[in-house]
Amino acid sequence: MFKTISGSKLADRSKGLFSQLNSLARETQLIVRTSAKFSAEGFLLSLFKAVLTGKASFGQIARDLKRSEKRSISRQAVHGRVDKTAVSFMISVTGQALKERWAEQKLICSKVFNRVLIEDSTQAKTHVNNAGDFPGHGNGKGKTAGCKSDLVFDLLTGEPLYQTLHLATDQDRELGKDLVDLVEKDDLVLRDMGYFAVKEFDLIAHRGAYWLSRVPVSVKIFDLEGSKLETILRNSKARQLELEVLVTEDRHRARLLAVRAAPEVAKERRRKRRQKARELGKQPSKDMLLRDGWYLLITNIGEDLMGSSNLFKLYATRWQIEITFRAWKQSGQLIKALARDTNEFHLQCLMYAAIIILILTMKIASLLHQQHARDRLSLEKLADDLGSHILTLLSLDHFGQYDPDPRHIKMDPRSRKSLLQIAMECLT
């Protein structure tokens, strides 16, 4: 059975955040004078409920505020309140939530790395009429609208470290530049191909940290004698290769790990590549089709620190962030909340409310994992359960009373290992 996280543990930590709401509201000028109709706490709670239920109109926010405040507020008054000061307030609350550390110890004890930082982004669509403020990439038929949330968290503690809101058209490679400022000595940064940037890898290495990444097919790679990677792969009969390489035209030195993909995997990859090329009126190159037959990783982690097998297993744990995003989107009605023709301030407030809920969910998950390391917790079920708890609240003062039933948040039995178990085996 699970130990409770209610009482001093969760209550004290959540109180530390929510007790600062009034000061943050005054600093951002969301609140200038005290009102019986509108409080920082009530405003935040009403936005939480908006993204959890999908009922996010100004009228619905006003109705939710009525349940928290001493006097009711009109829809028009809420519309007037949701302006740039409201967005500034939500950004400040997000920053404060990220700044606080709830985890007391690491979920996984690593003998090699200080932290394992995983970064990725996810997009949320909104009404096409919002494309002026939130342009999308389009769908081939017309314009689209949406925004993108970029998340960084530490796999070893489960704590989110950084989460920001961007336009859907912002490139991951550009967003990834901000992570470098967070990197500390002996950190490991796991990156997907969308964030691939050799210059950032060099900056990470200069901070005394490590990086591990998949390789986009467009990146040129040579061995130390100048032979192309494709030539080496084409001539190899081995299932696995490991060699020192030079990456891009600037010849950045790195360690490359290559494992041959299963025939059915390689066949499906090539089918998709040919189909995508046909849609663009092109033909895929032979080099691209050759690489589709391999899994390729590059890193600055030496063989003395970690072998190739564990590096592939460790990289697979990057999928944890996809599970996190899935839990976030499935636990509420964010898509429904954003699917409205409204102003940019309203949409930003809703998106930041959803971001704060995700941050709180991850922090609670880290507390639960620390207390119950042997139990397999489901982040999706926890997110659903926490959302149900928030919807019952009339005040955020009672947020810390959250006490999940263990039967409701345990992962369903399965034979394969969890990503956290895989990470633990690689790092300990």
Would you list the DSSP string of 205-257?
Answer: HHTT-EEEEE--TTS-EEETTS-BHHHHHHH---SEEEEEEEETTTTEEEEEE
Range of the structural domain that residue 416 is part of: 8-101+321-427
Q: Tell me: the pLDDT tens digits for 234-279?
A: 999 999 999 999 998 778 899 999 999 999 999 999 999 999 999 8
Average pLDDT, the chain: 89
Looking at residues 368-392, what average pLDDT do you find?
A: 84
Q: Is 293 within a domain?
A: no
Q: Is 418 within a domain?
A: yes
Query: How crowded is residue 327: how many other Cβ atoms within 10 Å of its Cβ?
Result: 20
Name the percent of the chain lying above pLDDT 70. Answer: 94
Looking at residues 145-163, what average pLDDT do you find?
A: 93
- Residues shown for the chain: 428
Q: Is 163 within a domain?
A: no
pLDDT of 1 > 80? The answer is no
What pLDDT is recorded for position 2?
41
Q: Is 23 within a domain?
A: yes
Q: Tell me: the pLDDT tens digits for 64-103?
A: 999 989 999 999 999 999 999 999 999 999 999 999 888 7
What pLDDT is recorded for position 4?
54
Q: Is 24 within a domain?
A: yes
List the beta strands (DSSP E) in 54-159.
Answer: 116-126, 145-154
Q: Is 49 within a domain?
A: yes
Q: Is 386 within a domain?
A: yes
DSSP string, 268-335: HHHHHHHHHHHHTT----HHHHHHTTEEEEEES--TTT--HHHHHHHHHGGGHHHHHHHHHHHSS-HH
pLDDT of 160 > 80? The answer is yes
Q: pTM value?
A: 0.90
Residues 11, 396: Cα–Cα separation, whole Å = 10
Domain count, the chain: 1
In the DSSP assignment, the letter for residue 195 is G
Q: Is 183 within a domain?
A: no
Q: Is the torsion defined by CA of 226, 231, 233, 235 positive or negative?
A: negative
